[in-house]
Amino acid sequence: MVVTGTDTGVGKTIVTAAIAAALGRGVAVVKPAQTGDDSDVDTVTHLAAPAFAKTLASFPDPLAPLAAARVADLEPLDLYAVTDAIKEISAEHELTLVEGAGGLLVPMGLRPGGAAWTIADLAVALGAPAVVVVRAGLGTLNHTALTLEALERRGVPAHVVIGAWPASPELVHFTNLDDLPGSLHGLLPDAAGSLAPGVFRRSAPGWFTPELHGTCDNLRDLTDAFTD
């Protein structure tokens, strides 16, 4: 399962950790490319303690992975090498979560012919569904619709998750909840990543529908629980 988003900073890493915690067993987490100083795999490991977690390549500058490789004069990620590595890992685990970088169509690396590839291309190559992490606030309807349209054109099934529901929601958040494109399968409270790991792991199943290994049948009920 590929975890992508409508943009950078929408909560992909915390959602990845929460899905891993919701299943709670036999989960592998793979980050094809980490850019900048932070380690998303370390964050997921701290919060969810998956059975396996690995970053395939790291680049020092906080840029899109292909640009970060170029600026650092490092070898860019090869699509087929990444695909093969993930398939090898997934063969040994019940669920493998692949966290992207930025949004769906951010250039990740190069194909052997020299063309750039994206997380959308990786999902197609793996035959994997996508989790699309979206914002709750203004602008999310357009960004979500564009991302879902790009996935639909490629034949990739998508599950929408709101990455952070605010503790003090405004009218726009509730209207977006009603009008959000796609099928909503998860909703996380704002600052979920700051929870103690034990609390995070116990809480995570309640943030998702059963399609994402959760226990929640009505995500709208969560908006009241998350509100101050």
pLDDT tens, position by position, 94-142:
999 999 999 999 999 999 899 999 999 999 999 999 999 999 999 999 9
pLDDT band at 39 (very low <50, low <70, confident <90, very high): very high
Q: Domain for residue 140, yes or no?
A: no
* Helices 119-126/79-90 angle, 10° precision: 50
pTM above 0.85, yes or no: yes
Q: Domain for residue 221, yes or no?
A: no
Q: Which domain holds residue 197?
A: 2-129+154-169+176-213
Q: Domain for residue 220, yes or no?
A: no
Q: Domain for residue 222, yes or no?
A: no
Task: Check whether 72 has a pLDDT greater than 80.
Answer: yes
What pLDDT sits at residue 225? 85
Q: What is the CATH number of the domain that holds 13?
A: 3.40.50.300
Q: Domain for residue 144, yes or no?
A: no
CA distances for 194 relative to 16, 43, 119, angstroms: 15, 10, 27
Task: Check whether 228 has a pLDDT greater than 80.
Answer: no
Dist. CA 158–CA 18, nearest whole Å: 17
DSSP 208: B
Q: Tell me the backbone φ, ψ of residue 4, rounded to 5 degrees.
A: -125, -170
What pLDDT sits at residue 209? 97
How many domains does the chain fold into? Answer: 1
Q: Domain for residue 123, yes or no?
A: yes
Q: Domain for residue 117, yes or no?
A: yes
What pLDDT sits at residue 227? 80
Task: Name the helix (H) or strand (E) containing 140.
Answer: helix 140-153
Q: Domain for residue 143, yes or no?
A: no
Q: What are the residue numbers of the active site?
A: 31
